[in-house]
Structure 1
Amino acid sequence: MKKQQFIYIVCLAALVSGCNIYKPYSRPEMDTKGLYRDPVSATDTLVSDTTNMGDLPWREVFTDPQLQSLIQLGLEQNTDLQTAILKVQEAEAGLMSARLAYTPSLNLAPQGGLSWYENHRRTWTWSAPIAASWEIDIFGKLLNAKRGAKAAVLQSQAYKQAVQTQVIAAVANYYYTLLMLDEQLAITENTSVLWKKTVETMRAMKEAGMVNEAAIVQSEANSYMIEASIPELKQQIREIENALSLILKEAPQQIERGSLKSQSFPAMMNAGVPVQLLSNRPDVKAAEMAFAGTFYNTNAARSAFYPSLSISGNFGWTNQLGSMVANPGKMIASALGSLTQPLFNKGANTARLRIAKAQQQEALLSFQQAILNAGSEVSNALCQYQSAEDKIVQRKKQINSLEKSVEYTQELLTLGTSTYLEVLTAQQSLLSAQLSNVSDQFDRIQAIVNLYNALGGGRNE
């Protein structure tokens, strides 16, 4: 008989394991080959590196002391990050509850009553039992709930890390935007001063009979145009300061900052091997843990088709013994074991399993898409960096040529061999190139910030 029972237990265990009830989560196979595009390779394939820029602490990437102070303030006060931290605490509380589900539950339920009949004395009855119940996890219901809660904790932690990375990148991007606008404002103001001198020169040349009234009017119009662009730049600076203050959870205020020319960055611009995205990108990790949670939800839905075994009991004292009332009270104890096997639940268990399987497939698709999005963001950042580098090289050459053009045309105008329109055109082209050069420098810096963000930088700080 014992041998037959042992065979039944073995068969039952094999059946349960075959239904994946006790099977732990394992990461699905993901093809990450060619996840990044190389912006300079003819084969479009990025050579894998063993190092990863995302592994650098954010203080080593962003070395500006004023920016470091702003990032630190953002990590301490940002509303989204504080909310993410609270979500981690919520998930940890859920995990604690799932772990305690293995232990018996104890409840003290004292009761008392007073009764009497006509011409009879009053009778006081009472009981003070401690009720205990314990669900024995034979088919993995509690196990999968605990594993799912653990996945939820990991998901919330990854989400918190993702928000942290986004806060760092957002503060850095706003800060560098301010530096770009400061530089463009300085160039525009300096150009405005030069244009005013040009207008004065034109007036002096008119008196000498070298130019006509049209030259003066045209030069004045260009001077006013540059003057008009200064308030617009100041407005943009004020709006960016307000947006950055909002991220820092501060009232709108002026932001202390350095200059664009003084910024320096680490030379390492490696993206790392593609598979690192699976462990480094917090949002990818969060998507994976969401998938793991649905995996355990599916296991729990399967376990609902199997019997549940629970043991309950009571222990305490009472003075009510059936039709008798005994004073003082007597000790009472009882125990009960119950086995519940679902037979017909109006299709609820079947529907729950189908829903869980569908949700698991949805989470898998989201996980796969998160990996593709990560690869796309890294590719875009690398391309942006390479494009900015190329533009900066050519823009410097353009500015050098335009500076000579302005100088030559002014000299020729003085000699009377050039027209005022040529001078104005050369000056306008130089201003446009100088402003574009600042934008190119900002694009390169923004590419570094975006790459650091795309590689999950600052996640462990």
Structure 2
Amino acid sequence: MKKQIIGMMCATAVLSSCNIYKTYERPKVDVSGMYRDTVSVKDTLASDTTNMGNLPWKEVFKDPKLQNLIEKSLSSNLDLQTAMLKVEEVKSILTAARLAFLPSLSLSPQGTISSFDGKAATKTYQLPVTASWELDIFGNILNAKREAKASLLQSEAYRQAVQTQVIANVANCYYTLLMLDKQLAITEQTAKNWGENVKAMKIMKQAGLTNEAAVAQSEANYYTINASIPDLKKQIRETENTLSLLLGQAPQQIERGTLAEQQMPEHLSAGIPVQMLSNRPDVKQAEMALAGSYYYTNQARSAFYPKITINGSAGWTNSAGGAIINPAKFIASAVGSLTQPIFDRGANVAKLKIAKAQQEEALLTFQKSILNAGSEVSNALYQFQSSNEKCVQRKLQIQSLESSVDKTMQLMKYQSSTYLEVLTAKQSLLSAQLSDVKDSFERIQAVINLYQALGGGR
């Protein structure tokens, strides 16, 4: 009868703890319509199955100088090296969790010398090897191992997120330098032209073709353009220092190409939204955090069930009870114990409630990461389209302004136009030329942002 009661209790416990052994399953997440269409009024992008994030970074960033910089950053970036070390740390934790299934062994030699009332000393010793083994009937050790494995996947996803960020940051800094170089070249050439213009205005004044005010205005504009050059050089120096930091090196000059040499993809593809769940590292990181919290909740549940432990020892001793024997004899013992929580002042209940709340928090974080990913992809797609449209309109604007400058200069020669009109046309042309360089950079930046948003750089 006792055996039947014990068997029924065990069966009930096992059945009630079935949930403890279940593995994590990804919650259902609606990813339809995650990307907004950039042109359709329906607002939902019919994505191609091709995912730009699956391309190797060398196929996206084709500049050899940039490729060298990215390769150097992947081996020398300090943040990436730190992330790699974190992965190694979690690997050690997982190894320890796997070994927890095995018995623990220890050697505990003991020796005693005692003497009573001046009599001859007695010497006793023991050389036992002790072992302790917890039977993981209710999944405590199993879920600890699964949680450690989820933590490893989470840390690997974090390392990948850092790697993707490093690649994107290096590319952004590199193309920023190319943009600033181009703007500096335009500004310096414009300053040179304005210097020649000042000389021409002074000659015209001497010939009575213009007045002192026009000469002064020409000089002021020349000095204004010259004053903008140090700011551009300062930005170049700061960007080089930032890029040097990403490369894990002291601030120094960066070897680079030109903006006109760059070749970027003409058409971007985002792929189907469900690919993001496996491609984007921050989404995977959030999901693995959710999986870890799921297994931690299972551990909290297992605390309500008994713990069965088997302890044993074996070795040699010359002390058998009250007798001292020589030589020593072999001795062995084994003990089995069962510990069932009855009253723990609410600690186990509190731990379970906390674990469930943390699991819900992790689920919300996972859902938010997916929404954030979709938003970033949509932003990058629209940035690419809008920058393309701006580039087209800016080219037309520059053509019109160049024509305007030429015509106003010709009219001024015949005194049909004032110098103020020439000045306005030239200032507008310079502004448009600098904006054109910025538009080209924004188009490149859109490619970088989309590549990063799709989890590229793996």
TM bucket, shorter chain: over 0.9
Amino acid in the other structure paired with 1:276: Q
Match of 2:121 in 1: 122
Indicate the percent of aligned positions where both proteins have the same amino acid. Answer: 63
Match of 2:390 in 1: 391
Matches within 5 A, 1:152-167: 152-167=151-166
Match of 1:408 in 2: 407
Is the contact between residue 378 and residue 451 of structure 1 (CA under 8 Å) also seen in structure 2?
yes
SS in 1 for 2:270: coil
SS in 1 for 2:17: helix
SS in 2 for 1:21: helix
Match of 1:14 in 2: 15
Cα distance in structure 2, aligned partners of 1:397 and 1:111: 93
In the TM superposition, residue 202 of structure 1 has moved relative to its aligned partner by 1.1
Amino acid in the other structure paired with 1:275: V
Cα distance in structure 1, aligned partners of 2:227 and 2:16: 79
Cα distance in structure 2, aligned partners of 1:161 and 1:243: 21
Cα distance in structure 1, aligned partners of 2:144 and 2:156: 18
Matches within 5 A, 1:38-437: 38-437=37-436
In the TM superposition, residue 283 of structure 1 has moved relative to its aligned partner by 0.6
Match of 1:457 in 2: 456
What is the aligned length? Answer: 457
Cα distance in structure 1, aligned partners of 2:441 and 2:95: 48
Amino acid in the other structure paired with 1:368: Q
Is the contact between residue 60 and residue 266 of structure 1 (CA under 8 Å) also seen in structure 2?
no
Cα distance in structure 2, aligned partners of 1:263 and 1:42: 33
Cα distance in structure 2, aligned partners of 1:400 and 1:97: 69
Cα distance in structure 2, aligned partners of 1:129 and 1:164: 51
SS in 1 for 2:427: helix
Amino acid in the other structure paired with 2:123: W
In the TM superposition, residue 9 of structure 1 has moved relative to its aligned partner by 5.1
| 1:35 counterpart = 2:23 | no
TM-score normalized with structure 2 length: 0.98
Is the contact between residue 406 and residue 426 of structure 1 (CA under 8 Å) also seen in structure 2?
yes
SS in 2 for 1:332: strand
In the TM superposition, residue 3 of structure 1 has moved relative to its aligned partner by 8.0
In the TM superposition, residue 33 of structure 1 has moved relative to its aligned partner by 1.5
Deviations 1:352-371 (A, max 9, x none): 10110111111111111111
Cα distance in structure 2, aligned partners of 1:320 and 1:12: 43
Amino acid in the other structure paired with 1:312: N
More divergent stretch after superposition (429-438 vs 88-97): 88-97
In the TM superposition, residue 8 of structure 1 has moved relative to its aligned partner by 5.7
More divergent stretch after superposition (38-47 vs 384-393): 38-47
Cα distance in structure 2, aligned partners of 1:167 and 1:365: 27
In the TM superposition, residue 267 of structure 1 has moved relative to its aligned partner by 3.4
Cα distance in structure 2, aligned partners of 1:235 and 1:12: 71
In the TM superposition, residue 268 of structure 1 has moved relative to its aligned partner by 4.0
Unaligned runs of 5+ in 2: none
Cα distance in structure 1, aligned partners of 2:195 and 2:135: 88
Cα distance in structure 2, aligned partners of 1:422 and 1:265: 39
Is the contact between residue 14 and residue 138 of structure 2 (CA under 8 Å) also seen in structure 1?
no
More divergent stretch after superposition (35-44 vs 83-92): 35-44
Cα distance in structure 2, aligned partners of 1:210 and 1:38: 58
Amino acid in the other structure paired with 1:133: S
Amino acid in the other structure paired with 2:289: A
Is the contact between residue 53 and residue 268 of structure 1 (CA under 8 Å) also seen in structure 2?
no
RMSD: 1.3
Cα distance in structure 2, aligned partners of 1:114 and 1:268: 87
Cα distance in structure 2, aligned partners of 1:267 and 1:201: 45
In the TM superposition, residue 214 of structure 1 has moved relative to its aligned partner by 0.4
In the TM superposition, residue 10 of structure 1 has moved relative to its aligned partner by 4.6
Deviations 1:377-419 (A, max 9, x none): 1111111111100100000000000000000000011111110
Is the contact between residue 189 and residue 230 of structure 1 (CA under 8 Å) also seen in structure 2?
yes
Amino acid in the other structure paired with 2:330: M
